[in-house]
Amino acid sequence: MNSRVKKIILVVLAVALVSGAGRFQASLNHDRDTLGLTQAAVLQNAPPMLAFTTVALGGFRGLISNFLWIRANDLQQDDKFFEASQLADWITDLEPHFAQVWAFQAWNMAWNISVKFKDAGDRWRWVGRGIELLRDNGLRYNPNNTLLYQQLGWIFQSKMGQNLDDANMYYKAQWAEDMGKLFGPAGTNFDQLLAPHTADDFKLLGILTNQFKLDPAFAKSVDQQYGPFDWRLPEAHAVYWGAKGLDAAAKNPDKVNPDDLIQLRRLIYQSLLQAFHHGRINVDPFTKNYSLGPNLDLVSQVNEAYLKMYADETDAGQRDGILRAQRNFVRDAVYFLYEADRVDEAAKWFKYLGDKFPDKPIVENDPTSLPKNLTLDEYAVAVVQIDIGETSQERVTAAVQGLLTRAYYSLAIGQEDRYENLKRLANRVYQRYTAKTSGFRGDERIPLPPYDKLRDSVIRHLLDPQTGVPYAARAELVTKLGLPAALLESPNTVTNAVDNVSSNAAPTNAVPPAQP
């Protein structure tokens, strides 16, 4: 066979092999796409040199991203945050399907870079940048990745919801302002979002779905399953993204990391507990200031979460820890419900506490002072005493005055039932300390000041024009306590008038509703 024939045969063979390889490569690419193994994506919005280098090197783009990652860390160490942020964008463009890259960069922005700034507004911009990186881009490329859902919810739950950052209240206020425009003044405006009628309704729905990537129908289902929540607060959104992650996992069970499922469930449970402790926005009608209080409507849901955690846990040590946490939660729930004058619910959970943990002290570190036949009222008093240290005269005095201050302010804002409950609790705390110290002699236990003196001191402080509550609140107190209206015109008469008032005084004369 001459050389010319050999060359022809080799060319034909080469063409056949290349053609076969092409067909086989197409089949491989189809299988990679089906299994979700394709990790390459077209690089966009990068400098021309970077785009050219990426295309030229192809499979070496991982090396490029490693180099950029090192460079971004160096820039961050030099406090060149914006340059580092730009490199982070390029890294995620290079590796769009590598979830750990998105998770790290978002965490770095929300936690590391944000705290480099002293101004709360500057910090909030970096926290928001971390949220947007995951929500707007990471989940766009990885819609079924449970890690990204968990990390996104974790920013809401931990960075914004907890008090680990000095600027956490600023974060909450900014988020509440944005969400209040969408979910309304009570944070529960689902009807308008789910059935928009006006142009404004459709505009709000567009902002909700396009800017914040929230599905109102799914949010309502989350609220029905785990809530009710105030959707102006971050805990509701932490639960939302945790539930979104579980939903994505259920649709793709073969691609789920079991550890990610555990983290998603913990995210939901921890956020529920946080929402119980501070999941309500309270607005002072006189000062218009905002404060956070417990969401007592979540007691059953949080307790159910503990039961599920206990059932799912296989480690004996972890199960014991879950039981301790559940017991502490129910203790708090009983006391908060009692304090809020939801006595029937408090009694229900007080019974549950005794039935569920019959061999455990109801209040930690004080098993001897709580007999089996303890009443709900005695329990509430015991909780206050244990919290403040019942042997301290100063702390008991401060606790009684604190309860009375809250009682009389509740009266001023129209919460008469809570006023009566707090006043009764203050009186019983005082009586318990007095009973326990009545047998001591000399200076072993210092007695409390007379109860009426403590009460009058609190009222006097609240009515003080300089240090007390706003005028409208003072007017309500004067009216409801039956004090002379002249107190508002002649502050110097406060002392004598208050010293002569009865704690059970009924309203007598009306007071002008607004300051002259």
26-55 confidence digits (pLDDT tens): 676 666 555 555 555 554 555 565 555 556
Q: If you average pLDDT over residues 467-491, what whole number do you get?
A: 82
Query: What does the pLDDT average to over 440-463?
Result: 75
* 355 vs 149 pLDDT, higher one: 149
Per-residue tokens: 331? 């203790």
Of 296, 246, 244, 252, residue with least CA distance to 275: 296
Residue 385, token pair as written in the block: 């005493």
Give me the phi and psi of 164, to 5 degrees please: -75, -25
Mean pLDDT of the chain: 81
Whether 309 and 272 have beta carbons less than 8 Å apart is answered as no
Mean pLDDT of the 260-271 span: 91
- Which of 92-96, 303-307, 372-376, 428-432 reaches the highest mean pLDDT? 303-307
pLDDT digits (tens, 9 = 90+) for 172-214: 999 999 999 999 888 888 888 899 889 998 999 999 999 999 9
Q: Is 198 or 515 the better-scoring residue by pLDDT?
A: 198
In this prediction, residue 505 carries a pLDDT of: 44
Predicted local distance difference test score (pLDDT) of residue 515:
38
Which amino acid is located at 249 in the chain?
Answer: A
Indicate whether 153 pLDDT > 90.
yes
Cut 0.85: pTM above it: no
**CA 37 from chain center: how many Å?**
36
pLDDT band at 240 (very low <50, low <70, confident <90, very high): very high
Q: Average pLDDT of 345-361?
A: 85
- In 3D space, the residue among 353, 381, 148, 445 whose CA is nearest the CA of residue 267 turns out to be 148
Q: Is residue 148's pLDDT more than 90?
A: yes
Q: Could you give phi then psi for residue 427, rounded to 5 degrees?
A: -65, -40
The answer to whether residue 78 scores a pLDDT higher than 70 is yes
Q: Which amino acid belongs to residue 357? A: F
CB within 8 A of 336, min separation 6: which ones? 294, 296
pLDDT at 222 over 90: yes
Q: What is the pLDDT of residue 58?
A: 60
Following CA atoms 159, 162, 165, 167 in sequence, which dihedral angle do they give, to the nearest 10 degrees?
100
Predicted confidence band of residue 504 (pLDDT cuts 50, 70, 90): very low
Does the structure show a pLDDT above 90 at 436? no
Please check whether residue 20 is in contact with residue 239, taking contact to mean a CB–CB distance below 8 angstroms. Answer: no
In this prediction, residue 204 carries a pLDDT of: 92
Average pLDDT over residues 234-261: 90
pLDDT attached to residue 275? 94
pLDDT exceeds cutoff 90 at 97:
no
- Residue (of 439, 437, 456) closest to 447 by Cα position: 437
Residue 126 has pLDDT above 90, yes or no: yes
pLDDT at 335: 87
